Amino acid sequence: MRMILVGPPGAGKGTQAARLVQNFRIPHISSGDMLRAAVKEGTELGQEADRYMKAGKLVPDAVVIGMILDRITKPDAANGFMLDGFPRTVPQAEALDAALKKAGFDLDAIVLIEVADDLIKERVTGRRSDAAGNIYHIKNNPAPAGVSVVQRKDDTEEACTERLVKYHGETEPILPFYEKKGILKRVNGVGSLDEVSARIRKALGTH
């Protein structure tokens, strides 16, 4: 299965990807996680990305496209992948389409997790994660006692507002391209984690 998870910041892409890839036996490839790892390592790419990410701006296409197209050629992605956070702009969608065509592959599905803007800020500012990358929420999904958690630098109200602007302005325009191909699945992202997982499985026909 070659698929994409898309949606506004805090829609639950990372949370759902972690639950779904276990069944599908494909890697979860998150552009945000890869960029945060590069920032932590202090690589040249990471230093450049950090400036954009902190402010809730998109990292330039040239940086992200190269990173993801390289990642999906790794052996663990030979039978499929779940992309999370990529593509996020029309040029990124075009680059992915061209790379897949060249390799002779088709995308099976793109799942849009829909959550209204007024619920997003609470999700984003309340998010915490642990050293292993598990995602929690101070109210909706608290970390187990004794697990230490941190807050992402871009999970401020200000950066979240900017990320929503970027989502509506730059990412939503990729959706008609996939809708025309007949592979866009819209899923309601409001409900318990299990309810949302079940809706995604149903949309993918894998329940």
Judged by CB under 6 A, does residue 82 bind ligand AP5? no
Q: Which is nearer to ligand AP5, 1 or 18 (CB)?
A: 18
Q: Which of residues 117-136 bind ligand AP5 (CB under 6 A)?
A: 123-124, 126-127, 135-136
* Binding segment (CB under 6 A) for ligand AP5, from list 5-13, 69-77, 100-108, 198-206: 5-13
The closest alpha carbon to 50, from 61, 36, 62, belongs to: 36
> C-beta of 79: minimal distance to ligand AP5 in Å?
23
The closest alpha carbon to 135, from 10, 6, 4, belongs to: 10
CB 32 within 8 A of CB 84: yes
Judged by CB under 6 A, does residue 111 bind ligand AP5? no
Sign for the pseudo-dihedral over CA of 28, 115, 157, 48 = positive
Q: Please tell me the distance from the alpha carbon of residue 1 to that of residue 25, in angstroms, as a whole number.
A: 9
- Concatenating the DSSP letter of every residue in 146-205 gives T--EE--TT-SHHHHHHHHHHIIIIIGGGHHHHHHHT-EEEEE--S-HHHHHHHHHHHHT
Q: Which is nearer to ligand AP5, 11 or 109 (CB)?
A: 11
Q: Count residues contacting ligand AP5 (CB under 6 A)?
A: 37
Q: How many residues does the structure list for the chain?
A: 207
Judged by CB under 6 A, does residue 96 bind ligand AP5? no
Residues taking part in catalysis:
13, 88, 127, 152, 163
The closest alpha carbon to 5, from 205, 207, 203, 206, belongs to: 203
Q: Which is nearer to ligand AP5, 42 or 182 (CB)?
A: 42
Q: Which of residues 37-66 bind ligand AP5 (CB under 6 A)?
A: 52-53, 56-59, 64
* Binding segment (CB under 6 A) for ligand AP5, from list 99-107, 137-145, 174-182, 198-206: 137-145
CB 127 within 8 A of CB 15: no
Q: Which of residues 155-184 bind ligand AP5 (CB under 6 A)?
A: 163
Cβ atoms within 10 Å of 78's Cβ, excluding its own: 10
Judged by CB under 6 A, does residue 141 bind ligand AP5? yes
Q: What is the binding site for ligand AP5 (CB under 6 A)? A: 7, 9-15, 31-32, 35, 52-53, 56-59, 64, 85-86, 88, 92, 123-124, 126-127, 135-137, 140-141, 154, 163, 189, 191, 193, 196
